[in-house]
Amino acid sequence: MNEVVTLKRLFITFICFLFLHTLALSLSLGFIAGVLSAVLAIFPLFVLIPLIARLDPFEEEPIKFLVFAFVFGSVSAYLISYFGNMMAGEAVSHLVYRDMLTSNVLAPIIEEIAKFHVVVILFIFVRKEFNNVIDGIIYGLFAGLGLAFSENMLYYSQEYSHSGFSATFDVFVLRGFIMAMFHPLCTGILGASLFLTTKFKSIIIKILLVVSAFIFATVLHGLWNFTNGLSNLAMNGVYFGLYVPTVFCIIAISVYHNNIIKKMMKKQLHEFSDKEFKTLTSIFSTIYMSLTTLIKYGYKAYLARKKFREVAYKLASLRQKCYKYECNNIEGLQEAYCKCRYHIAVLESFVEQNSKNFFIGEIK
């Protein structure tokens, strides 16, 4: 299916859900509460989405799959969580500690399963896109971001209805910025575990990886819910003791992974000057150039720039592979070596024809 058509369908799905969700909140809690909740929930996305998408700047994930993860996270995962929590609450309504059990145990389990199913769908049908651990993290982050978006709308509208704008703004700062990566973070851990399963043949190890990641994500989720009802000291303990280190761990993995790729590309891409190489590989340059191209020339030009970066990365990877073939002189790989050399020639031609346009911004 054409990528533009797929994006349009996903976008229409999201807009319909956003309209219905806003309408439902407006009817139950008031028009201003419904509209305000949508505006506040959307605002942080303009910062978070570009940053998450650029965790792997050299081999960006197809936009349609990122949009799929976000839309299904905001629609499917949210509906599963909402009704799942409702039914779980009813099931334990006769227990003395029902509120604590629902909030700290059942809700984290239900919500993590709801988000995880989105990443599992992608992993099953487009496994080829899970090329490294960063890819699994990115898809998980987008799915979690989708659920957080829909959940935030609910919380903002309820807070405005009960306590007014000032209290709603406080919740917005907490959920929209301070803890904006909470839901995405938990699902990112699960996405990473899915990629790691591809590195092992043993079914037992695969299961242990996913189960361990699920337990960690659920415990992290449950601890945060639990400390919400306690002192600021307890909340800060979970925030700075678990949440912040996990965020920095993901950032560190991304930086380490990208630095390895940069060194390989620097060694293999002799066509580019130091300035051009920095423009090609710097995360800030890629964000700036992508946004500028998208605004100035449109989506097709954005895809052209994206393709050029991917071709440059593939060219460097193939040259590295051929270098290993030549050094090791492995018998039986002559055919693979010849194919590799052929693809290198094709990519070199593409880079030569398009590099001038890429660096001076004339891609149209």
Distance CA 206, CA 210 (A): 6
From the list 213, 244, 211, the residue with the least C-alpha distance to 137 is 213
Distance CA 270, CA 275 (A): 12
The tens digit of pLDDT for each residue in 277-314 reads 877 777 777 777 777 777 887 777 777 777 788 888 88
Widest pairwise Cα distance in the chain = 74
The most confident of the ranges 17-26, 29-38, 53-62, 108-117 is 108-117
pLDDT on residue 155: 92
Length of the chain: 364
The tens digit of pLDDT for each residue in 162-180 reads 988 899 999 899 888 888 8
Domain residue ranges in the chain: 3-260, 270-360
Distance CA 68, CA 364 (A): 27
Q: Taking 80 as the threshold, does the pLDDT of residue 135 lie above it?
A: yes
pLDDT on residue 340: 67
Share of the chain above pLDDT 70, in %: 90
pLDDT on residue 264: 86
Over range 334-360, report the average pLDDT: 69
- HSE-CB for 12 with a 13 A CA cutoff: 6
For 361, the token pair is: 């911004």
The tens digit of pLDDT for each residue in 229-250 reads 676 777 788 888 888 888 898 8
Mean pLDDT of the chain: 84
pLDDT on residue 363: 47
Distance CA 111, CA 74 (A): 12
Over range 12-24, report the average pLDDT: 85
Q: Taking 90 as the threshold, does the pLDDT of residue 212 lie above it?
A: yes
pLDDT on residue 364: 44
The tens digit of pLDDT for each residue in 58-100 reads 777 888 899 899 999 999 999 999 999 999 888 888 887 888 8
For 262, the token pair is: 């940069």
Share of the chain above pLDDT 90, in %: 30
The most confident of the ranges 3-12, 22-31, 213-222, 315-324 is 213-222
The tens digit of pLDDT for each residue in 107-122 reads 999 999 999 999 999 9
Distance CA 191, CA 253 (A): 14
Distance CA 246, CA 255 (A): 14
Banded pLDDT at 356 (limits 50, 70, 90): low
For 92, the token pair is: 């334990």
